[in-house]
A and B are shown apart, each in its own frame.
Chain A
Amino acid sequence: MSSLLLIGCAGATVLGVFVAALISLIPGLHIYNVIAITMLVYFAIMDAMSGMDPLLMTSFLLGMVVAFSMLFTVSSQYFQPTDESFRSLVLPHERFLLEGRAHEAVLLAGVGSLVALYAIVFLLPVMIDPIMTFSRLLQPHHYWIVMTVIAFVLMTEWPKDHGVGWTAAQRLQDGWVQLLMGYFSFIGAGILGIVVFNRTLVPLDASFQSLMPLFVGLFAIPTYIMTFLTETRVPSQHHCNSVEIQDLDIPRGSLSGLLAGIFAAMNPGLTPGPTLLMTGHITAQSGERQFLIGGGAGRLMYYVGALVLFFLPGVYLRRGGAAINISLFFVPETEAQFHVITMVIALSGALSFLMLDRFSLVCARLVALIPYKFFSAVGLVLLTYLVYRVTGPEGLTIMGAATILGVVPNVWHTRRINLLAVLLVPIALNMGGYGPAVAKIFALY
């Protein structure tokens, strides 16, 4: 491998980090959407760049993924404040913003991301054999593991109170409204997922992005809508130079995050949301600092760790949107390539972590200067345009249907995790061999 290629990879990585940092300023934009656009551009100019080593493009995308997984939550944290009246529970990072401590939350998540980065760079390369063994062992079991996660998610949402009413029936009815709406959003999202997985509703040339309108509709647009409805005032933010952490916060928070990330990365269909819920309980996670650290570690371990599995010699597991897109033009073959990938992750991770402080400061200044609803308006217009551009009017229709479902958790105070049924249900059914039978019920087969 030539020195020039290595320098080129480093340059592409740095470029990827800065592009991701710029894009991360728009709340709600997901890295897989950005990669999809990048791939469209790349394929359009592929002929003109036929002499370019695919490792350069891979480095660019990896730089983007690493930086994005560290930075993308920062903008949504600053620009999408929570109105307490819409929620039964305000999450720690949302509350920190309302207390002027958003930067502290950013740094705590950054600590978790850094631990995950160390684990990926230093531990994963020496864990190839156990990972391969686990991968082989889990191969026939993915379907029931995903179904187990589904069962846990559905069975462990407790009603938040005793319900109001003079009789047991009245109290049951009152308490169960929230639960039933959670099941409604789960079933609705599951059916939507089954339909999209079994019918190509978007134009054929955009079929590799058929999930994009679903995710934008279920998660991004409802958050924009709630931000528009929010009347919260974002107070001036304190830019702290240090954070207060108890001695066990980092190991316990990171442990739950790392477990969640690797669990999601190794099992198709799983994302850090439900796995963080499970590992947080498994490790008896406690307190808001551990929650924030765990979130940072889990996100990075999932997005980057899943991608690394694709490059690990002998493993080559293709998990997550980034790996699927990279596999369209790059096939990992040598150990030398893996070392380059490790270098790219270390470089982009270090750069992103160093940028975190300034990035947070920029977001704090922006939210002080510009009304926060502006950022959501930009995001809404941009994402709607992207969905239309990539998946056409059919995609917009799917996005609209998904948006209606996506609003349900905000209105009835249910878990948003239920909406992940859009992915969990069809994947579990298909892996378990039940997919065709269920699709038949919906006249899709």
Chain B
Amino acid sequence: MKGITHFMSGVAVASCFPQALDAIFASRGLLLPLGGVFGVMPDTLDFRIARYVWNYQRVCRIDEGNLDPRVAAEAMAQAIDDAARTGDLITLRLDVIRVSSSYYRTYLVYVDDQAKEVTAVIGSLKTMSQVMEKSEFMPSSASVRQRIQKNGPAQTFKELFESLPGLPGSTPGENYSYTAKFTADIQNTYYQETEVGIFSGPDFAFDVGPDGKVRIDFIPWHRTWSHSLLMGLFMGPVAFLVTAKSSLLFSGQILAYLASGTPAAFFIAVIAFWVHCFEDQTGHLGSNLLWPFTAKRTPGLKWTTAASPVSNIGTNWLAFSTIIWNVNAHAPEPAFTLPWAWNLPGGFADWTYYLSSLGVYVLLAIVIPYSAFFVLSRFYRSFKNEPGMMNRYGDGNTFEMAGFAADEGDL
């Protein structure tokens, strides 16, 4: 999920605590923003600390002046075999080829665990936007697999590069691909292909598992200790101390300072953090939920991807609806009431009134919008899958567009 989705989910979690809402009216409390802060905290820890602390051993760098795909293919294959031979953990980074502030030279590595080959394909020049929007234009995984079986990865990805968004005519005409062999058995925990595009490029870790296979972990510093249940528990005391009155601490009254903390802040921080981990678990990469008991990430449920508009918009809408419901139901004078509850006595403090209103609200704000969105997206996808619409890219009838579902590209 995107950062804002985690952030909104954290705010929604905080809004479920009556103490947080009461504090708004009583003392202009800040527990709702605090929920957002801890909702996005796991990624903040990763991208601001973990990526620097991670110790990478090998860096593969291709120069725009000498676009040699052999460098990347052999670096990957060699790392796999070295890990198998020595039994040591090998880490490798594939550096981006930054041509200017606007353009990156993209390339792709494809790891075939059956044929024991790594194929590197040099792609087109792309802007950051074009790299980011790639997933919207990607063919479905199934049709890519079919094409790879028919034409091989090099030809398939060359065609894809030429048809996906990018600077027209910027793919290299010759020597665009290289295939390197490796001998070890592998277990790939992520997609077979990885495009090297923007920012700092992907990292890989190669480690021999108990089954003797070399396990390939994608961006191994991401979603490890920072996305664990235990780290979530650590966040509770932090939030508790943040909400305590610092003036007491500075005046040396330690016990009074500890007593002034808000217990709700403890639970808001922990749950907001855990909700982040759960949301990430719906993707492909997964998280290391049980750190420090294991160093491996638990594979994701593969329900969605981080860039998917459907899951991001859907989750944000759910968070937004939750926040609106809670702030209205806990307001001294609610801004709106709902049918069914209109004729009931009492207000939101009365359980019958509350549940009746909630039922209508769930129907109006969640069930109907989600159903409408589902129907519209189904209609859109059926429209996109008409034969005439499928072949905008590629050379004919091979690629079936994944389109709006964007079933590629998890981060």
Q: Interface on A for B, CB 8 Å cutoff?
A: 84-85, 87-90, 92, 95, 98, 133-134, 136-137, 140-141, 143-144, 147-148, 150-152, 155-156, 158-163, 168, 171-172, 175-176, 179, 246, 248, 252, 278, 281-284, 286-288, 291, 432-434
Give the complex CA separation of A158 and B2 in angstroms.
Answer: 13
Contacts A84-B100, A248-B404, A278-B4 known; A286 to B136 CB distance under 8 Å?
yes
Contacts A90-B102, A137-B336, A162-B52 known; A286 to B307 CB distance under 8 Å?
yes
Q: Identify which of B53, B165, B199, B312 contacts A160 (C-beta below 8 A).
A: B199
* B51 x A84 contact (CB < 8 A): no
* A137 x B331 contact (CB < 8 A): yes
Give the complex CA separation of A248 and B133 in angstroms.
Answer: 12
Give the complex CA separation of A179 and B49 in angstroms.
Answer: 12
* A287 x B132 contact (CB < 8 A): yes
Contacts A84-B102, A95-B102, A162-B51 known; A137 to B327 CB distance under 8 Å?
yes
Name the residue on A nearest B7 (C-beta).
Answer: A152
User: Which B residues from 85 to 140 make CB contacts under 8 A with A?
Assistant: 93, 100-102, 127-130, 132-133, 135-136
* A140 x B129 contact (CB < 8 A): no
Which of B32-40, B142-150, B285-293 participates in binding chain A?
A: B32-40
User: Which B residues from 1 to 40 make CB contacts under 8 A with A?
Assistant: 2-5, 7-8, 11, 24-25, 28-30, 32-33, 36-37, 40
Q: Identify which of B101, B130, B135 contacts A89 (C-beta below 8 A).
A: B101
Give the complex CA separation of A137 and B332 in angstroms.
Answer: 11
User: Which B residues from 302 to 347 make CB contacts under 8 A with A?
Assistant: 307-309, 312-313, 316, 324, 327-328, 331, 335-336
Give the complex CA separation of A168 and B2 in angstroms.
Answer: 27
Residue from A147, A171, A281 with most neighbouring chain B CB atoms (10 Å): A281
Name the residue on A nearest B319 (C-beta).
Answer: A282
Residues of chain B contacted by A137 (CB below 8 angstroms): 324, 327-328, 331, 335-336
Residues of chain A contacted by B11 (CB below 8 angstroms): 148
Contacts A144-B33, A287-B132, A432-B28 known; A282 to B324 CB distance under 8 Å?
no
* A148 x B32 contact (CB < 8 A): yes
Name the residue on A nearest B320 (C-beta).
Answer: A282
Number of A-B contacts (CB under 8 A): 138
Residues of chain A contacted by B5 (CB below 8 angstroms): 281-282
Q: Identify which of A147, A152, A278, A287 contacts B130 (C-beta below 8 A).
A: A287
Residues of chain A contacted by B51 (CB below 8 angstroms): 162, 175
- The answer to the question of B55 belonging to the interface, with a C-beta cut-off of 8 Å to chain A, is yes
User: Which B residues from 383 to 400 make CB contacts under 8 A with A?
Assistant: none
* A287 x B7 contact (CB < 8 A): no
* A148 x B129 contact (CB < 8 A): no
* B200 x A168 contact (CB < 8 A): no
Residues of chain B contacted by A162 (CB below 8 angstroms): 51-52, 93, 200
Contacts A162-B51, A171-B52, A172-B49 known; A147 to B30 CB distance under 8 Å?
yes
* A287 x B33 contact (CB < 8 A): no
Q: Identify which of B33, B130, B307, B335 contacts A151 (C-beta below 8 A).
A: B33
Q: Identify which of B8, B28, B54, B136 contacts A287 (C-beta below 8 A).
A: B136
Name the residue on A nearest B137 (C-beta).
Answer: A246
Q: Identify which of B40, B47, B128, B312 contacts A159 (C-beta below 8 A).
A: B47
Q: Identify which of A152, A287, A288 contacts B36 (C-beta below 8 A).
A: A152
Give the complex CA separation of A12 and B6 in angstroms.
Answer: 48
Closest Cβ–Cβ distance, residue A160 to chain B (whole Å): 6
B interface, size bucket: 35 or more
Residues of chain A contacted by B327 (CB below 8 angstroms): 137, 141
Q: Interface on B for A, CB 8 Å cutoff?
A: 2-5, 7-8, 11, 24-25, 28-30, 32-33, 36-37, 40-41, 44, 47-49, 51-55, 93, 100-102, 127-130, 132-133, 135-136, 165, 199-200, 307-309, 312-313, 316, 324, 327-328, 331, 335-336, 380, 404
Q: Identify which of A87, A150, A156 contacts B40 (C-beta below 8 A).
A: A156
* A92 x B129 contact (CB < 8 A): yes
Name the residue on A nearest B55 (C-beta).
Answer: A168
Q: Identify which of B101, B132, B335 contacts A90 (C-beta below 8 A).
A: B101
Contacts A156-B3, A160-B199 known; A287 to B52 CB distance under 8 Å?
no
* B47 x A158 contact (CB < 8 A): yes
Q: Identify which of A133, A148, A176, A284 contacts B312 (C-beta below 8 A).
A: A284
Name the residue on B nearest A160 (C-beta).
Answer: B199
New A-B pairs, 20, CB < 8 Å, besides A152-B36, A286-B307, A288-B133: A84-B101, A95-B127, A140-B25, A141-B24, A144-B24, A148-B11, A151-B7, A151-B36, A151-B37, A156-B4, A161-B199, A176-B48, A179-B48, A248-B136, A281-B5, A281-B312, A286-B135, A287-B129, A291-B129, A432-B30
Residue from B101, B312, B316 with most neighbouring chain A CB atoms (10 Å): B101
Name 28 interchain pairs, CB-CB below 8 A, sorted by A.
A84-B101, A87-B101, A89-B101, A92-B127, A98-B102, A140-B25, A144-B28, A144-B32, A147-B30, A148-B33, A151-B7, A151-B37, A152-B4, A155-B44, A158-B47, A162-B200, A163-B52, A168-B53, A168-B55, A248-B404, A252-B309, A281-B5, A282-B4, A283-B313, A284-B307, A286-B136, A287-B136, A288-B133
Residues of chain B contacted by A136 (CB below 8 angstroms): 335
Residue from A137, A176, A433 with most neighbouring chain B CB atoms (10 Å): A137
Residues of chain B contacted by A252 (CB below 8 angstroms): 309
Name the residue on A nearest B335 (C-beta).
Answer: A137
Name the residue on B nearest A248 (C-beta).
Answer: B404
Residues of chain A contacted by B3 (CB below 8 angstroms): 152, 155-156, 281
Give the complex CA separation of A144 and B33 in angstroms.
Answer: 7
Residue from A90, A133, A148, A168 with most neighbouring chain B CB atoms (10 Å): A148
* B133 x A286 contact (CB < 8 A): yes
Closest Cβ–Cβ distance, residue B212 to chain A (whole Å): 31
